[in-house]
Amino acid sequence: LAGTGDMERTFIAVKPDGVQRGLCGEIIKRLEQRGFHLVAAKFLQASEDHMKQHYLDLKDMPFYGGLCKYMSSGPVFAMVWEGQNIVKLVRMMLGETNPADSKPGSIRGDLCINIGRNIIHGSDTLENAKKEVGLWFKPEEFVNYTSCFQPYLYE
């Protein structure tokens, strides 16, 4: 986006529990209302191998196998959003990994209860965001367009 130096992209996915519970719209609404800019999206069922790759950093955790199975058991809504400082801001919007520790007002604090069913993924660092965006999306899947809100969101 013109006139703004620190634009970032982050990878966000509504997990199978969030899709089943009909929360895609609510999650997209919150990201839109914050002012973030959607640049890619797709609705798919990921393979277990794909989820193992996505969660590779957690391969030694006891819940890794179950997590990857669960994440590939049903549809996910995968998206890339853009905005200034978006990686950190989205992590704040998500709340904590455990919904029980997430403040009201956050997505997990408002919409879910259990750590294994916490409805949404968001990249935790800019470096991981770049990896995840590349793992989930091909270059031709991005849409380039200018948001008419841009001069009212950024100085």
Contacts with ligand IDP by CB under 6 A lie at: 58, 63, 67, 97, 115-116, 118, 121, 124
Q: Which residues contact 138 (CB under 8 A, 6 or more apart)?
A: none
Evaluate whether 11 touches 69 at the Cβ level (below 8 Å).
no
Nearest in space to 34 (alpha carbons), one of 12, 2, 5, 18: 12
Q: How far apart are CA 124 and CA 58, in angstroms?
A: 13
Q: How is residue 103 annotated by DSSP?
A: P
Q: Is 149 annotated as a binding residue?
A: no
Cβ–Cβ contacts within 10 Å for residue 14, how many? 25
Question: Hey, is 46 helix, strand or coil?
Answer: coil
CB of 115 to ligand IDP, least distance (A): 5
Please report, to the nearest 10 degrees, the dihedral formed by the alpha carbons of residues 46, 32, 1, 145 taken in order.
70
By beta-carbon proximity to ligand IDP, the closer residue of 25 and 65 is: 65
Task: Give the footprint of Mg ion on this chain (CB under 5 A).
Answer: 124
Q: Is 52 annotated as a binding residue?
A: no
By beta-carbon proximity to Mg ion, the closer residue of 82 and 124 is: 124
Give me the active site residues, please: 121
CB of 3 to ligand IDP, least distance (A): 31
Nearest in space to 11 (alpha carbons), one of 112, 72, 90, 115: 90
Q: Is 117 annotated as a binding residue?
A: no
Could you say which of ligand IDP, Mg ion, none residue 97 binds, taking C-beta under 5 to 8 angstroms by partner kind? Answer: ligand IDP
CB of 10 to ligand IDP, least distance (A): 12
Q: Which residue is nearest to ligand IDP (CB)?
A: 97
Binding residues: 15, 63, 91, 97, 108, 118
Binding residues for ATP: 15, 63, 91, 97, 108, 118
